[in-house]
Amino acid sequence: MAIVKKRKVADDRRAAQNDNVYKNMQESEETHLSNHLDEIVAAVSITPRNKSQSNLTQTVLFQPPREKLRLCEEKARACSGSQEYKQAVRELVRCLALTRICYGDSHWKLAEAHINLAQGYLQLKGLSLQAKQHAEKAQEILLTNSIGPPRSDNTGVFKCSVELFHTMGRALLDLRKFKEASENLEKAERLSEELLQRGRIVKEEWLATQARIKWSFAQVCQGQKKLQEALPHYKEALECLESSKGEKSLECVPLLRELAGAEQALEFHDAAIGHLLQAHLIVLGRNLTQEEMADSAHSVAHAAAASPRPAHQDVAEQYFQECMSHLQDCGGRETAKFLSIQDEFCRFLQIAGQNERATSILRESLEAKVATFGDLSPEVAETYRLLGEAALEQGNHRMAHRTLKKCLHIQTLLYGPQDKRTLATQQTMDDLAKVTEVAVKPKPTPKAKVAFNTSVPGHTALGRGRPSAAN
């Protein structure tokens, strides 16, 4: 009996302990759940104590997808405008995902998002194959699965199709498939003209679209080395762009430079310099950086220096000086870009016959180049080469040999003895040595005649010297 009572007391104690453990666990779970609910309430409720954090949480968690899509599109445009190309493509990828959420897999808006991403890859990162793949996906959506607006109001689909064919043409152009590129650009042109005829697009928007299509046509012709055919397309694109954006628009600058490049290749130097000057005036009229203005002046100087007309030499020197002045203002005279432009200016001076002036500038720049690039650098070697050529032109063979020898030493260490630059310098030095040898070689003097009665001492043997005075 006593044993039974003891067992009962032990069981009661064990049961009481289990009840306490269960009660503690229940209280702990309730406390954890209460704390978790408090966190959720704090996250979604707006209280004066934490208003800014709550607003941020609400913005992130409860923003509608279409609002997120609108913000992503704005971010993509802003990043593209500020040349943050990598971030722009990321935002375009987000736009594609949000468009699929908002409109589904078969809406023309999704095709438009694919086209925008294709343009991002093509224009911002130069990934032509990815651009082509997204354009093909957009084409598939538009042609087979479109459930867009009714035919009475299909302006959006038409505009999307114009952008599709133009983007596809640009991608094929970069992939050097010129025939397919031209076919897609022709489709884009026909659709844009149809939009204009039906009154679905305003004239200014049509002109802007035409400018991009004609520009692409010109690039197709230039890629095929058909520069004469490219010029009319460039000029039509420029007219459309000036009509839609204005003659002073910054968007005209790259088009003017491409047009000038085609004209320069055809040796239309006056027209090329004129278009580059027009682009330079647009750049100067904007609040751009010193480096951008320097690049613009350099393009004018480079084109004028390539012209064979003596009248363009003054133009070249003027814009070389302007370019170096802008670079000096933004970085000083010891930057790599300034020294590179200065070398190009010295080469121009040598071609123009101003060797002494070029030599003076090169000697002054040598110390800065050694400090910037080091003793054994391509820039220092090029400076010695230019100094040697200038000394050759001036007839100073000793100075030419000295500077070319330094150039050869640096080139041998940098490129090796069999590099074409090293071999060219060695050939110049060999030619210089031959010329110098001919110039300094003494004329042979006639030998003195031996008197008839002069006799050679009989004790002098062959192969031995004359006897000394002591003998």
**Which tokens go with 347?**
């080469």
Cα torsion angle, 375, 380, 385, 391, sign: negative
For residue 341, give Cα distances in angstroms to 45, 151, 261, 333, 348: 63, 59, 19, 11, 11
Which residue in 43, 111, 102 sits closest to 72, CA to CA?
102
Nearest to 283 by CA among 298, 268, 269, 272: 298
* CATH pick for 339-438 out of 2.40.100.10, 1.25.40.10, 1.10.10.10, 3.40.50.12780: 1.25.40.10
| pLDDT recorded at residue 144 | 74
Residue position matching structure tokens 């933004």: 330
Q: Are 110 and 103 in contact, with CB atoms under 8 Å apart?
A: yes
Residue 165: its H or E element: helix 155-174
Tell me the per-residue pLDDT of 95-107, one tens digit each, with 9 for 90 and over.
999 999 999 888 9
d(C-alpha 165, C-alpha 163), whole Å = 6
Q: Residue 35: what pLDDT?
A: 42
Tell me what pLDDT residue 41 has. Answer: 34
C-alpha to C-alpha distance for 311 and 305, rounded to whole angstroms: 10
**Which pLDDT score, from 0 to 100, does residue 60 have?**
54
Count CB-CB contacts under 10 A for residue 356: 12
DSSP state of 49: G
Which positions of the chain have pLDDT values less than 50?
1-6, 9, 21-23, 25-53, 56-57, 148, 440, 443, 446, 448-471
Note the pLDDT tens digit of each residue in 2-24.
444 445 545 555 555 555 544 45
